[in-house]
Amino acid sequence: MLNHFNTIGTIVPVASSPLEQFETTNFISFTAPILGDFVISLTNVGFYTLLVLVLGLGYHVLSANNHRIVPSK
């Protein structure tokens, strides 16, 4: 990643390649020596998937109106 200065003199990171925005990075990684150094990791894609799942399920549960057919007043 390259850096350049903006008009007020602060350093702003600039991607050296347009493909850097699609890189998959590990947030959390565990190595399990039980199964021959099996690696379990949470990547940025997995994190965003879990975030959307939790937000979607949370919205569904909060808007379910306690399983009533007719909405409350």
Domain ranges of the chain: 42-67
pLDDT at 52: 97
Element containing residue 57 per DSSP (H, E): helix 44-62
Please give the sequence-ordered ranges of beta strands (E in DSSP) within the chain, or none if there are none: 2-5, 11-14, 26-32, 38-43
pLDDT at 22: 84
* Mean pLDDT of all residues in 6-27: 74
pTM equals: 0.60
21-50 pLDDT, tens per residue? 888 888 898 888 877 888 888 999 999 999
